Structures are given as structure tokens and as C-alpha cells.
Amino acid sequence: MTFTNELRKSADILWKKSIQHPFVTEIADGTLAVEKFIHYIQNDSYYLTTFAKVQLKAASKAPDMHTISRFAVHAQSTVEAEYLLHQTFFGLLGIPHDREFSPAPTAYEYTTHLLSIAANGTLGEIIAAILPCYWLYWEIGERYRNSQPNHSIYDKWITTYGDEGYGKLVFEQIHLLDDLATNASSEQRKLMRQHFLRSSHYELRFWEMAYRIETWPPEVNEPS
């Protein structure tokens, strides 16, 4: 069993909960309340901005030009995805681009988790931390590829993550992590597993954040 297969097996309970979360299943059947998707897409835009920064940090820790160039490609893909959010989903939903947007608690915690690993971790640790986002969305895209939300936005969301081009990016990261794990110490592999599981936990919380339209409690909001 490969290292990433071990990681996937260890996170199976969390991933099953994500794949079967009402936020996801209601996108697939076209019944999700639009205000929940709006909350999701605003926080996802914030998340993707951080995700691209983490990918570039990974590039700075890569051992060779090929790996550096591939992370640059991945970061560019993330930037393009974030741009698509604004041009497509934000436009269709009438969401203004708010540079002062304040992320929900879960989005803030998840991105802080990634930034901390990017600053202090190895290349393998960074990939382990960002891989659940890649891989889980691919599994969701595959699982619901044949669903028919009959909704202009939800149809496109499902199609995006079931696309074969997206799948190639996912498996490129899987194979790279397996290669890095081969020469990693037991302590490094332990950290990779910890980061992978914690990110899987945050992925599940992200759906819940959107479904419950999570916000900061009044006592921690800055006065206007």
C-alpha cells in the first residue's frame, strides 16, 4: 500500500462524512439554498487566495526546477479558479467583490493551519496539508459526475471537479507525495499524516460552515 493510500484509508470516516454532507448532496440534487452557496463561495474565494500562496511557498522549497515549475502551474491553476469564481459564480449570484471581506471562523482557522505549515514545514508536509483539498474535491466530482442539479451554478460546480484535467493535477500531487514519503523519516511521515488528517477535518468543517452560514459571535466582531 502506498503512503497516500494509507493516508486516504486513515481519513476515510472524515471523507465519507464530507461526500455525504447535506451541503454537497443538496448541490448534487439542486436543492441547496442559494444563501448557503453564497456564504461558501465567498469563503472559498478567500481560501483559494491563501491556497495559491501556499503552493508558491511549496515551490520555494522544491529541490529541482521541474518541481518548481509544476508548483507554479498549480498556483496558476488556483489563481484561474479564483478568477472564475468572481467572473462566473460571483456574477451570477450578484456578489460584489469585497476587499474587506472577513472570513468565517472555520475558513480563518483552516487557512491559518495551511500558512503555518507552509512557513515551518517541509515540502512533503505542505503537500500533505493541501492534498485533501485537491483529492476530496476530485472524489466528490467523480461521485456526483452524473447527477443533474438542473441549476446553472450547481451544474458548473459539479462539472469543474469531475473534469479529467483537474484529475491530472490531483494525481500529480499524490505521486509527488508518495515519492517524498519514500525518503522521509518516520517522524516526517508522522507529521505528514497529522497534517493530512487535520486538513481533512477542516474540509468537513468547511461544508458545515457553509451549510450553517457560520459567522463570528458578536463579542469578537470589531466595532463598525
Number of domains in the chain: 1
- H helix runs in 144-163, sequence order: 152-161
pLDDT tens column, 14-33:
999 999 999 999 999 999 99
Alpha carbon 168 to its chain centroid, in Å, reads 16
The domain in which residue 69 lies consists of 3-213
Residue 144 lies in a domain: yes
Cell numbers given for 192: 505528514
What's the CA gap between 157 and 37, in Å, rounded?
A: 11
Look at residue 173 and tell me whether its pLDDT is greater than 80: yes
Query: To the nearest whole number, what is the mean pLDDT of the chain?
Result: 90
Rounded to whole angstroms, the Cα distance separating 185 from 79 reads 33
User: Which residues fall within 8 angstroms of residue 61, CB to CB, at 6 or more apart?
Assistant: 122, 123, 126
Query: Mean pLDDT over residues 41-58, rounded?
Result: 89
Predicted pLDDT of residue 223: 54
The span from the first CA to the last CA of the chain, in angstroms, equals 54
219 occurs within a structural domain: no
- Longest Cα–Cα distance of the chain, Å, equals 54
Report yes or no on 223 lying in a domain. Answer: no
Answer for the pair 123, 131: CB distance below 8 angstroms, yes or no.
no
Whether 21 maps to a domain, the answer reads yes
Task: Give the catalytic positions in this structure.
Answer: 133, 203
pLDDT at 38 over 80: yes
Does residue 53 belong to any structural domain of this protein?
A: yes
Residue 220 domain flag: no
60 in any annotated domain: yes
pTM to 2 decimals?
0.92
* Residue owning grid cell 489563481: 79
Q: Which three cell numbers stand for residue 203?
A: 474540509
Is 174 within the bounds of a domain? yes
